[in-house]
Amino acid sequence: MAVWALGINHTTAPLDLRGRFAFALDQIAPTLQGLRQALNQSGSPRGVESAIISTCNRTEIYCAGEQAALDHTLGWLARSGGVSPDVLRSHSYVLENGPVARHAFRVASGLDSMVLGEAQILGQMKDAVRAAESAGALGSTLNQLFQRSFAVAKEVRTSTEIGAHSISMAAAAVRLASQLFEDLERTRVLFVGAGEMIELCATHFAARNPASLAIANRTLERGEKLATRFGGTVMRLADLPERLHEFDIVVSCTASSLPIVGLGAVERALKKRRHRPMFMVDLAVPRDIEPEVKQLEDVYLYTVDDLASVVQTAQAHRQAAVAQAEAIIDAGVQSFMHWMEQRDPEHGVVPLIQQLQQQTDAWRAAEIARAKKRLARGEDIDSVLDALSRGVAQKMLHGTLAELRNSDPAARAQTVDTATRLFLRTQSKKPL
């Protein structure tokens, strides 16, 4: 089996390009079906396993099959995003076998994130794996890869301080807002969306006791639930353009494929505010807020990429934890590759183990059948059991004894060493 991965992330591709390849969680199943159909039609053997991880910072495709199909995978992803394969290739990374495992383990552990050590990616990976499993796209190889990823991530978090010195996107947004507004307790904050990231941001801003807090969401019920938790109010997304001027801080993160806050709406809001400054954070990929808004004089707009420099703190403390985490990941990669090698029909030990078990089962069955016949003739049970055990032992030792008697001196020495290790292991141990 071959394992391969193709991806783009915050270090290889700009925000707008990443937005072309963003897949909502409910899109994963049909998207995986399209990918697998494309790979089958391209000549790849049927039964290719696949999974897609899509977050604001990355889109990654993981596959496993009889042979790697990196070019076909890249071609399919390029078509899905409406760009040429050459453009995608210049902003992507392709991995195969061992490097795939290392990358997956680093992603799950938070070592490949914009916020080093952040824990949110692990939950996103688990959601992606469940989606792939529900779509019937996950097989034993990728399942093993991801389950080992989760185990490695857990060990990294329990054995190192990788997450102790990280600053989340939400905390970074609060820090930037504090630089613009002297007193956050006098600000009015609007959150657009009601997902996990908005919930995290609302938690951080609510801790600073703003003057008011509101949630704008397509589904009022979900918005009301979040607003109630933080003592805020809820509004319909359709009312946003008319009420935007009421808020000093706007944080948006939805799954919309098109911007929901346009340049015109912000310009009208500024006019009503008499050009009092607005702080806006767009954490969505694709963008929720039109990029032209950033050019307005009284607006301070930050995207996920803009927050990168803010979260790079406590570098010395993090690097020590990174070294420990990388050692754990190294061990995990070696273990996974050993598992892969064992399953290789040409070079692995699993086929040999199966043959040995089949042979010993045949010997055992033959001796049991012979013993049953002797018992049926009325022979003494003790002599029958003695003959059965001798028969099994002789069959198991026949090949080894034949090699010891008939091989040349060099081969005989090797057989002696092997036989000693296999059959005399406990006897050959010397007392301490």
Place of tokens 């808020």: 247
Residue 56 annotated to the active site: yes
Per-residue HEC secondary structure of 196-242 comes to HHHHHHHHHHHCCCCCEEEEEECCHHHHHHHHHHCCCEEEEHHHHHH
* H-assigned helices in 193-349: 196-206, 220-229, 240-243, 263-272, 315-342
Residue 308: burial class (beta carbons within 10 Å; 0-12, 13-18, 19+): middle
Q: At what angle do helices 140-159 and 315-342 cross, to 10 degrees?
A: 150
Q: Residues 6 or more apart from 329 whose CB is under 8 A from it?
A: 102, 105, 106, 109, 111, 152, 156
Cα 419 from Cα 348, distance rounded (Å): 22
Q: Return the HEC string of 132-166.
A: HHHCCCCCHHHHHHHHHHHHHHHHHHHHCCCCCCC
> Residue 292, CB half-sphere, CA atoms under 13 Å: how many?
8
2 Cβ contact partners less than 8 Å away, ≥ 6 residues apart: 64, 65, 66, 67, 68, 96, 97
Select which of 56, 63, 201, 253 is catalytic. Answer: 56
Q: Which residues are catalytic?
A: 56
